[in-house]
Amino acid sequence: MRLASKLPKVGTTIFTVISQLAAEHGAVNLGQGFPDFEGPVALHEALHRHVLAGRNQYAPMSGVAPLRNAIAAKTAALYGRRVDAEREITVTSGATEALFAAIHAVVRPGDEVIVLDPCYDSYEPAIELAGGRAVHIPLLAPDFGVDWQRVRDAIGAHTRLIMINTPHNPTGAILTRGDLDTLAELIRDSEILVLADEVYEHIIFDGRRHESVLAHAELAERSFAVSSFGKTYHITGWKIGYCVAPPTLSAEFRKVHQYLTFCSFHAAQLALADYLVADPQHYHDLPKFYQVRRDHFANALSASRFRLLPVAGTYFQLADYSAISEDDDATFCRRLIVDHGVAAIPVSAFYESPPAQRLVRFCFAKTSATLDAAAERLCAI
């Protein structure tokens, strides 16, 4: 049987490829973005309690009320925006599902979606499956800021959505309040919507503040804001995320969500609701928790030939390997695994048209022992 692929440019995701190769060669895996330590014990105990209490059947489609209420309280406390937990918050099976549902809720055949490269690899396939076209705007080297003039020039009659990601994967860059003000000005007199990928909202360093679209009154009225409990509580395998959006947008979002996954892990939602209320200090302490790891990894690599780029947020470190090899980044990452026993992600995987640069992405959401083992091998190159 011959089948014309709906995603002819898409193969197995780079994260799966790198993790499989790392496992085959016994490499230290600093590629795929997941911690190698556990989340809070109290959160695990809450999950166990709710499983034993029989919360093992379908949850409400939009999410259990206690969790949506806790998200609403957090949104008000952090960003000063009061949202209706019943009509504006939807719990999803991870942030990737939320991004997919938001895109399919509003993007129609022929629509254009502006994305900023490098960008997470799930964005464009979701746009294409909706019949839209991704318009790629490269971020500005070396700091990966947004070229707002190029964004302005790219906006046209078919522009339906602009996607932003802050803190940014893979670069660790962040958007400022001025960036959000500029974005608001660009789309003020249009019907263009915003999809804000804010899954690393609580992982931001050096005293900086996360600038959420939810804290920007003008943008909040036309935005989907997506976040992830997996990143915040070190439980990526639970796959619980959420989307905050105005009632009209949430209604369209839920039309897709209900036929995509319908609902998410019931007991996990209740456990997260309990923990959000019991320990709100956890996400306040997260910047320091990960900054220690960022700095530990940087110090451990100080004797290497890698040049580390600044990291303002996320748990990823970009490293320039120009002093080591002239290989393209995909070839270099393969050699890094096979010859040196460390896995990283080639940054070209996040681009439509990769620029002339030699960058790899390391994940430092790891124990000190893991980071030291990787650094010892990397410093020997």
Assess if residue 169 is contained within a domain: yes
Assess if residue 175 is contained within a domain: yes
Are 271 and 358 members of one domain?
no
Are 349 and 251 members of one domain?
no
pLDDT at 356: 86
**Cα distance between residue 315 and residue 10, in whole Å:** 26
Are 295 and 273 members of one domain?
no
Are 174 and 275 members of one domain?
yes
Question: Which of 90, 119, 102 lies closest to 161, judged by CA?
Answer: 102
**Cα distance between residue 283 and residue 270, in whole Å:** 18
Decide which of 279, 295, 321 is a domain's last residue: 279
Are 259 and 334 members of one domain?
no
Q: How confident is the model at residue 333 (pLDDT cuts 50, 70, 90)?
A: very high
Which region among 199-213, 286-300, 346-360 has the lowest average model confidence (pLDDT)?
Answer: 346-360
Are 98 and 148 members of one domain?
yes
Q: What is the pLDDT of residues 19-29, one digit of tens each?
A: 999 999 999 99
Q: What is the mean pLDDT of residues 193-220?
A: 98
Q: Answer whether 346's CB lies under 8 Å from 360's CB.
A: yes
Assess if residue 206 is contained within a domain: yes
Are 307 and 270 members of one domain?
no
Q: What is the pLDDT of residues 96-139, one digit of tens each?
A: 999 999 999 999 999 999 999 999 999 999 999 999 999 999 99
Q: What is the pLDDT of residues 235-246, one digit of tens each?
A: 999 999 999 999
SS3 of 45, please? helix
Element housing 361 (H / E)? strand 359-363
pLDDT at 1: 81
Q: What is the mean pLDDT of residues 133-148?
A: 96
**Confidence check: pLDDT of 11 > 90:** no
Domain harbouring 136, CATH code: 3.40.640.10
pLDDT at 130: 98
Q: How confident is the model at residue 279 (pLDDT cuts 50, 70, 90)?
A: very high
Q: How confident is the model at residue 43 (pLDDT cuts 50, 70, 90)?
A: very high
Are 348 and 202 members of one domain?
no
Assess if residue 8 is contained within a domain: no
Are 208 and 115 members of one domain?
yes
Assess if residue 3 is contained within a domain: no
Are 61 and 26 members of one domain?
no
- Structural domain that includes position 126: 41-279
pLDDT at 213: 98
**Confidence check: pLDDT of 150 > 90:** yes
Q: What is the pLDDT of residues 221-231, one digit of tens each?
A: 999 999 999 99
Q: Give the global pTM.
A: 0.96
Decide which of 221, 250, 279 is a domain's last residue: 279
Number of domains comprising the chain: 2
Decide which of 247, 279, 311 is a domain's last residue: 279
Kindly list the distances between the CA atom of residue 2 and the CA atoms of 5, 55, 67, 101, 249, in Å, as whole numbers in the listed order: 9, 44, 46, 29, 38
